[in-house]
Amino acid sequence: MRPQSRPKILITLVSSGSSTLYSGLIPSHLSGQLPLADTSINVRSLADRAGVHFIQADAESIDLSSKVLQLSNRPAIAFDILSLNLGAISPRQHFKTAIPIKPLGPLLRALNQQDQSLNRDQTTFHVVGAGLAAIEVMFALRRRWPSRPLSLHRGDHQLDVRMANALTAIGVTLTEAPAPDDTNTLLCTGAAAPGWLQAIGLRCDSRGRVLTHSTLQDLDHPWLFASGDCASIHNQPRQASGVYAVRAAPVLASNLKRFIEDKKLRTWTPQKRALQLLGTHTSNQQDIAWAKVGTTLIGPHPWLWRWKQHLDRRFIQNFQQLTTPASGMDSQGEAASGMACRGCAAKLGASPLKQALQLAGVAGLGSEPADAQVIGSNSEKATLLTSVDGFPALLSDPWLNGRLTTLHACSDLWASGAEVSGALALLTLPVTDQASQIQLMSQTLAGIRSALDEQDAVLLGGHTMESRQASNQPVGLDLQVSLSVIGATAPHQPTWRKGPIRSGDQLLLSRPLGTGVLFAAAMQGRCPGPWLDQALAQLSQSQHHRLIQLRQANAEEPGSIHACTDVTGFGLLGHLNEMVDASDAIQVELAISKIPAFDGVRELLAQGINSTTAPSNRQAWSSLEQTVTLTTGSQSSDTSADLTNLELLIDPQTCGPLLVSCSPAAANLLINQGWTAIGTAMQR
């Protein structure tokens, strides 16, 4: 990977997942020999290392006349050059309920459900197909389910006698009979391209694959390139194989650059036959493999298995090494100075902030912090509030970044009991070409609007600036968004403040913690894609419905919401300390084991990974055993006993949870709606 040699233009990678699975190792995962993480390539991290914008979304169509890529559940993207590598799907034939082997995600989820079935060893599992994929899957499933009945439905296709005998030897039934159409049937029925490619007017072969010239350009659109399982070179048909996709990659990369630079393109003639290695095992669980070139079959032999494992592991390790920077963490596990954290973790720490306010003569703003400021009231006697927030881009996806920044800013008003009615935006754009600036700005504004629209709020206007610092790649990370949001409480409803907490109150969180360490780990290539995906899926969901729940609880138990805040840059403990400071002689007891965290957060903290804001936030630990006590179960915990949980308490949050202190009756109502009780308050 040489990002410094690529064209200095806006390059965006659109992928349905932040990780992609290497098909060569999938059988080893299906058999239970490899965890899924060992078969995955972190695409998001690769894009970051390459200086490429990453958008996680499903491509749905292309407007060929206007050069626009249509995406699922988000705005379309305009482009000048488009390269397609969409993979393949398994044709369903006449089946409606059976599980297709491609795409792989639904298959893996379905097999995990099969594992949990009490009847998995009694109910026959069926596989439809007669190709190498079907055969390799059967061997893998036999290892996964040693005693479950397995049946391979080959139709009228004939299997090689040696392979047929090997399958029979491990107890697989071979049959020409049709398979049942249910969730105990897996379809290995070949590979076809997504149907929408042909539907939009592209010339395709019988399997829906885009037909290209030997330069990998579409036959009719020179700006459209296609490769992999979704494409086929015209008059040079080949079976779908990962070998061809790998061999096409250098030609594709070269031709994309040459096309941009208006140079002559390279041609590529794929080999007629590809070596295929098929891993399996014998009835006594010995690992062996076959080699197939054309009609020639070699094996099975243990040395072929070792060779296959060597090739597959070397291939994926090359990508996994690329996602891990050579440097990044210092000796204390913090992100190195050149890798400063983004999002809310980019904010000034509590101590320097208070010192600056004091020197400026406005120390009161720090000693009595408020989530939002009152600016008046309206004719309905509702309190009007405003707040401002923003930070450097958290992600290279401008739409999602705009949405997350807006939701983060809105949480100040929600914590004060106010609905958001409007916002003003300030965008600082990176120094880049005008077309890229237009793309970044339009996508960012669309992301902002998506967060406001669902609250019936409006984008009132704003201002733009251009940075005066040279931009890095991807340039989207140099875009900064700030918002001033305004809103109002319900008529005659008092504004919720950070205190006072009352004795007997329950403390509740609206969502898990851990975004600071997740994003810090992602910057280092040390965060598995599924962990970050799970967090982003929750962070991108608006919490304005949590405000509705709080209002309903307060209506049923008038005056039961005593204090509320949102957990952001200072971490849970830092913001809890603000609530305690705003109360009279209150002691808080936190049940440390009940504090929710996103998947992987505690594991990453245990590895010593932290946000760059963590050192400043650790000053909040001084409150422990004074105004905040930690408990595990029924026993008080030594504050030094569990460093992982202590680090979780001060992890800075972007789009963090709401933290509410309320009466036990209100707490019961909220817990039934998904809030998590984490502690209680008592008089000191």
Strand partners, 224: 82
Q: Is 56 in the same domain as 162? A: no
C-alpha of 662 from chain center: 33
628 Cβ contact partners less than 8 Å away, ≥ 6 residues apart = 573, 576, 577, 580, 587, 588, 589, 590
Q: Is the predicted pLDDT of residue 435 greater than 60, yes or no?
A: yes
Assess whether pLDDT exceeds 80 at residue 314: yes
Q: How confident is the model at residue 574 (pLDDT cuts 50, 70, 90)?
A: very high
Domain that includes residue 131, residue range: 99-190
Given 156, 173, 190, the domain boundary residue is 190
Residue 343 pLDDT greater than 80, yes or no: no
Confidence of residue 354 (pLDDT cuts 50, 70, 90): confident
Mean pLDDT value across residues 350-376: 74
Domain count for the chain: 4
Q: Are residues 216 and 165 in the same domain?
A: no
Q: Is 346 inside a domain boundary?
A: no
Mean pLDDT, the chain, integer:
88
pLDDT at 1: 55
Do residue 78 and residue 64 come from a single domain? yes
**Which CATH number do you get for residue 412?**
3.30.1330.10
The encoded tokens of residue 42 equal 């972190």
Q: Do residues 64 and 29 both lie within one domain?
A: yes
Residues 482 and 546 in one domain: no
Average pLDDT (544-569) is 95
Is the residue at 133 inside a domain?
yes
Same domain, 530 and 636: yes
* 307 located within any domain: no
CATH number at residue 596: 3.90.650.10
In a domain, 325, yes or no: no
Select the more confidently predicted residue: 511 or 298.
511
pLDDT score of 335 more than 50: no
Q: pLDDT tens for residues 18-76?
A: 988 888 888 889 988 888 888 888 999 889 888 899 999 999 999 999 999 999 999 99
Instruction: List the structure tokens of 276.
Output: 């295929």
Which residue, 225, 260, 295, sits at the end of a domain?
260
List the one residue out of 599, 411, 402 whose CA is nearest residue 518.
Answer: 599
Pair of tokens at residue 120: 């998995």
Residues 251 and 400 in one domain: no
Using a pLDDT cut of 70, give the percent of the chain over it: 91
104 and 26 belong to one structural domain: no
- Here the CATH number for the domain that contains residue 38 is 3.50.50.60
- CB-neighbour burial class of residue 462 (10 A; exposed 0-12, middle 13-18, buried 19+): middle
pLDDT at 511: 97
The yes-or-no verdict on residue 566 having pLDDT over 60 is yes
Last residue of a domain, one of 163, 190, 217: 190
Which of 477, 661, 652, 496 is CA-nearest to residue 580?
661
467 in any annotated domain: yes
**pLDDT at position 156:** 84
Q: Are 492 and 506 in the same domain?
A: no
Pair 527, 634 in one domain: yes
> Average pLDDT for residues 82-103, to the nearest whole number?
91
384 and 400 both lie in a single domain: yes
pLDDT tens digits, one per residue of 455-470: 999 999 999 999 888 7
398-425: per-residue pLDDT in tens? 999 999 999 999 999 999 999 999 999 9
Examine residue 129 and state whether it is found in any structural domain, yes or no. yes
Segment holding 516, helix H or strand E: helix 515-523
Q: Which of 569, 452, 592 is nearest to 509 (CA)?
A: 592
- Give 9's Cβ-side CA count (13 Å radius): 13
What pLDDT score was predicted for residue 659? 98
Q: What is the mean pLDDT of residues 614-642?
A: 75
**Same domain, residue pair 411 and 427:** yes
Kindly report the three-state secondary structure assignment for every residue of 616-649: HHHHHHHHECCCEEEEECCEECCCCCCHHHHHHH
Asked if residue 622 is part of any domain, the answer here is yes
In a domain, 29, yes or no: yes
